[in-house]
Amino acid sequence: MNRYMPLTGHDCTIPALTIDTQAPLDVLLDAAAYRIRAVTQLLENIAFREELSSDAVVLHDFAQLLAIPLRDGCDLMDVIGRRLSPQAA
């Protein structure tokens, strides 16, 4: 695994946003949890609203906005999983 892994949500030749795969596991976990909790909290707030109406374009943009930190969190969890795999054996 390379030291710096580009985030999968941003496809470009030269990545500007990367994950330090050698960062301490607690730091990686904290960063992943922060992003996943932020998305979860926002989705829960929307789910408990009495009335929510919007057009398809706004919903598409909103879904894309939530997908970015969720994908970042998944990328971080992937790095944690890879780092823990050899330790489990």
3-state SS record for 21-87:
CCCCHHHHHHHHHHHHHHHHHHHHHHHCCCCCCCCHHHHHHHHHHHHHHHHHHHHHHHHHHHHHHHH
What pLDDT does residue 40 have? 95
Share of the chain above pLDDT 70, in %: 96
Asked if the model's pLDDT at residue 89 lies above 80, the reply is: no
Q: Inform me whether the pLDDT recorded for 15 exceeds 60.
A: yes
| pLDDT for residue 33 is more than 80 | yes
**Position 60 pLDDT exceeds 80:** yes
